[in-house]
């Protein structure tokens, strides 16, 4: 029986090994480095990478390569070791007496505390021809590279995801159906463990829809393998914030976890699946998606609360940060909504370092006009020349980081009143004015903005250039003061049309023609749907789903002319003691009431009117107006004649004081409607 059992084991081992060899793909560069090490290029090969990236599979191939070269191999899994020098040397010490010996240590992170002893005590005793491979999740201590003695003896091998072609080959070898490969690759990227788990599920459920998503058992397995146990609930929450955010900084963590931000940030940056950039920390893509999927499934309300707090932090940062930091803030804000509609299709989120934004200088004018002519037509080039003279500050340029070459530019024109000259040279600006006048004209001090983009062919579609241009546009909209309308001019056949509708920017009114090219103008009235309401709508699209959120549009504010506003104030004064009448007032949908924050619009309107009346009491010249208003509207005089009698005034004098007081209240409230609260007024 024993002999038969051993034979069965041998057969099974052979089958397992054959399957592993058949599904091993890529890693040619790593194998080449190992073969060089076998020939004496180094004595220690230190492999590191996040969990599931394929370290163990690569080590098994290293073992085969070494045995094929006639080298004796000791394969050691540190998971089974006590982390003591004595235990380690008992298991691995044979390599110290064999100059052809190869020691391969897997999961070294389990005994990471031995790293210093390994470097200083164990490895220096190796015979010159021996080779040790150390593999773990954590990169080697900097003391290795700081010591010149290790310069030739050590090679460090960071192990990354499989290349796209190799990832596709792995799914092919595993027998995944063609229609499932796209969504599986989109989720797993080149992460070996995720690809293997996903392939196993896809092959088992061959009737699955092409809308493949990871099942909860896959999510749970990946969490265990990639993340494992974390020290506390706060650490788990910090990981979830890091997964949801484009990048994580200590000040973002401080907003969500104020008591532990510094220590949690330090913990995050040491994790093997978290990387650093100039903007902050970010996790491996698969870890990000697994943590996101798990939290949304496990705690939908907690996910929504976290999302809203991060959104509020980034929106506030967008409004107050310097112009140079706007792109980073808006990019991070948009990344939160990467699953909304076609956002991912029109964003690459890979522009950091490839291209950069530059300011316009007078010497750039000719190059901009030339690019506009090449990308669109000569009429567009003429319009660009016109505006670079009149509004040079409206232009932003985008250059390739390596060469400084111009690859795109955009403009955000700020227009206060139409002119005959601009209408003749730039029909797009003229059409924007026509549309605004037809729908909701500008009020005193307001402006409209017109956005245009020009990008060279290789950067059209989702690209680092179009990322930055979109973020600049949204940054302008969220930061602009007194902007009534924004218009985005797009070629009528541009594929971004549906994408812009998702973001509540719609093709309105007339189209414009510049030369032989037709342009649609995608508009948003920021007085009717404010920046905050616009952001709230994006949150609903993410948290409630596209269909539900679209069915309940963002609340629209009323945009009244000054005359309409004053008429509404006069009527509201007469109905100040009637909540039902006040609730029906168009003023309850104006900015001044909506942004008051009261859940009862009628009460908010009454409070605002009473405040405006109260402001007059501080002005000695207006005290008589104040008394007329208080007596008539706040103390309930049944008629104006009775009010005049209570004030001891002739009726004509009373009427004059009352009319002046009403005019002052109208002016006060209109000023706050247009400019916001000033001088400490609520």
Output the DSSP codes for 148-210: GGGTTTEEEEE--PPPHHHHHHHHHHTT--HHHHHHHHHHHTT-HHHHHHHHHHHHHTTT--S
DSSP 3-state of 415:
strand
> Nearest-CA neighbor of 105 among 93, 92, 116?
92
pLDDT of residue 22: 72
pLDDT of residue 195: 79
Q: What is the CATH number of domain 355-551?
A: 3.40.630.30
- Please report how many Cα atoms fall inside a 13 Å half-sphere around the Cα of residue 658, on the Cβ side: 23
Count the residues in the chain.
682
pLDDT of residue 552: 46
User: Contact, 504 vs 554, CB < 8 A?
Assistant: yes
Q: To which residue do tokens 């990478």 refer?
A: 49
pLDDT of residue 6: 40
Q: How far is CA 318 from CA 278, 413, 588, in A?
A: 18, 20, 28
pLDDT of residue 344: 66
Q: How far apart are CA 556 and CA 534, in angstroms?
A: 10
User: Contact, 234 vs 260, CB < 8 A?
Assistant: yes
DSSP 3-state of 45:
strand
Q: How far apart are CA 318 and CA 330, in angstroms?
A: 6
How do residues 350-409 score in pLDDT, each as one tens digit? 656 789 999 999 999 999 999 999 999 999 999 999 999 999 999 999 999 889 999 999
pLDDT of residue 507: 85
- Tokens at 73, concatenated: 């191999």
Regions of the chain with pLDDT less than 70: 1-20, 202-212, 341-342, 344, 349-352, 545-555, 675-682
Main-chain dihedrals φ then ψ at residue 500, nearest 5 degrees: -65, -35
User: Contact, 366 vs 355, CB < 8 A?
Assistant: no
Residue ranges of E strands in 226-296: 274-276, 281-283
Q: How far is CA 235 from CA 49, 259, 273, 351, in A?
A: 21, 12, 15, 30
Q: How far apart are CA 582 and CA 572, in angstroms?
A: 6
The DSSP output letter for 213 is -
Q: How far apart are CA 664 and CA 64, in angstroms?
A: 90
Q: How far apart are CA 86 and CA 67, in angstroms?
A: 27
pLDDT of residue 380: 95
Domain spans, the chain: 12-158, 164-213, 225-336, 355-551, 562-675
How do residues 272-300 score in pLDDT, each as one tens digit? 888 888 888 988 888 888 898 889 888 99
Q: Same topology for domains 12-158 and 225-336, yes or no?
A: no
The CATH number fitting domain 12-158, selected from 3.40.50.970, 3.40.50.300, 3.60.15.10, 3.30.1490.20: 3.40.50.300
**Cα 49 to chain centroid, rounded:** 25
Q: How far apart are CA 496 and CA 466, in angstroms?
A: 11
Q: How far apart are CA 611 and CA 593, in angstroms?
A: 13
Q: What angle do helix axes 55-68 and 2-23 make, rounded to 10 degrees?
A: 110
pLDDT of residue 682: 41
Residue ranges of E strands in 417-470: 447-455
Q: What is the CATH number of domain 225-336?
A: 1.10.10
Q: How far apart are CA 664 and CA 674, in angstroms?
A: 15
């Amino acid at each position: 029986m024993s002999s038969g059992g051993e034979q069965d084991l041998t057969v099974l081992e052979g089958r397992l090994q054959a399957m592993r060899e058949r599904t091993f793909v890529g890693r040619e560069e790593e194998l080449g480095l190992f073969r060089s090490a076998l020939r004496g290029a180094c004595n220690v090969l230190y492999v590191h990478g996040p969990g599931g990236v394929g370290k163990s599979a690569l080590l098994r191939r290293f073992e085969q390569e070494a045995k094929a070269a006639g080298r004796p191999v000791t394969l050691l899994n540190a998971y089974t070791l006590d982390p003591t020098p004595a235990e380690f040397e008992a298991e691995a010490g044979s390599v110290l007496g064999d100059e052809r010996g190869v020691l391969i240590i897997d999961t070294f992170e389990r005994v990471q505390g031995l790293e210093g002893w390994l470097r200083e005590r164990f490895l220096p005793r190796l015979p010159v021809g021996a080779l040790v491979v150390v593999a773990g999740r954590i990169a080697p201590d900097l003391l290795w590279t700081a010591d010149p003695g290790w310069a030739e003896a050590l090679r460090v091998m960071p192990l990354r995801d499989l290349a796209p072609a190799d990832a596709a080959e792995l799914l092919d070898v595993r027998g995944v159906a063609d229609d499932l490969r796209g969504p599986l690759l989109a989720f797993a990227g080149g992460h070996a463990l995720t690809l293997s788990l996903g392939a196993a599920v896809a092959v088992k459920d061959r009737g699955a829809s092409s809308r493949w998503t990871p099942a909860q058992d896959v999510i749970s397995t990946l969490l265990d393998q990639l993340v494992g146990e974390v020290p506390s609930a706060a650490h788990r929450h910090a990981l979830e914030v890091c997964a949801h955010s484009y990048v994580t900084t200590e000040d973002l963590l401080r907003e969500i976890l104020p008591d532990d931000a510094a220590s949690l940030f330090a913990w995050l940056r040491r994790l093997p699946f978290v990387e650093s950039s100039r903007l902050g920390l970010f996790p491996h893509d698969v870890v990000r998606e697994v943590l996101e999927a798990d939290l949304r499934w496990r705690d939908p309300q907690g996910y929504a609360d976290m999302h809203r707090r991060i959104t509020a932090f980034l929106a506030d940062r967008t409004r107050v940060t310097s112009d140079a930091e706007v792109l980073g803030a808006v990019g991070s804000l948009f990344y939160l909504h990467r699953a909304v509609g076609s956002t991912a299709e029109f964003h690459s989120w890979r522009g950091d370092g490839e291209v950069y934004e530059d300011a316009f200088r007078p010497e750039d004018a000719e190059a901009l006009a030339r690019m506009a002519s090449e990308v669109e037509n000569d009429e567009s080039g003429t319009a660009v020349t016109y505006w670079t003279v009149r509004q040079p500050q409206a232009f932003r340029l985008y250059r390739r980081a390596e060469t400084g070459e111009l690859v795109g530019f955009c403009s955000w024109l700020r227009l206060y009143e139409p002119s005959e000259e601009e209408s003749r040279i730039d029909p797009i600006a003229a059409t924007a004015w026509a549309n605004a006048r037809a729908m909701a004209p500008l009020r005193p001090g307001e402006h409209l903005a017109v956005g245009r983009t020009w990008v060279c062919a290789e950067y059209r579609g989702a690209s680092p250039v179009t990322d930055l241009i979109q973020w600049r546009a949204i940054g302008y909209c969220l930061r602009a003061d007194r902007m009534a309308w924004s218009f985005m001019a797009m070629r009528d056949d541009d594929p971004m049309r549906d994408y812009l509708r998702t973001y509540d920017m719609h093709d309105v009114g007339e189209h414009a023609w510049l030369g032989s090219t037709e342009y649609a103008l995608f508009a948003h009235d920021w007085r009717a749907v404010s920046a905050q309401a616009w952001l709230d709508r994006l949150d609903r699209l993410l948290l409630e789903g596209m269909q539900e959120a679209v069915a309940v549009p963002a609340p629209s504010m009323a945009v009244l002319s000054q005359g309409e506003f004053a008429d509404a104030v006069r009527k509201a004064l007469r109905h100040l003691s009637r909540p039902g009448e006040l609730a029906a007032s168009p003023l309850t949908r104006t900015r001044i009431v909506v942004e008051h924050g009261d859940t009862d619009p009628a009460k908010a309107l009454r409070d605002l009117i009473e405040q405006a009346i109260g402001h007059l009491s501080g002005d000695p010249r207006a005290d008589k107006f104040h008394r007329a208003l208080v007596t008539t509207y706040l103390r309930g005089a049944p008629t104006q004649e009775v009010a005049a009698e209570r004030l001891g005034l002739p009726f004509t004098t009373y009427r004059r004081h009352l009319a002046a007081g009403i005019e002052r209240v109208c002016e006060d409230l209109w000023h706050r409607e247009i400019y916001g609260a000033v001088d400490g007024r609520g």
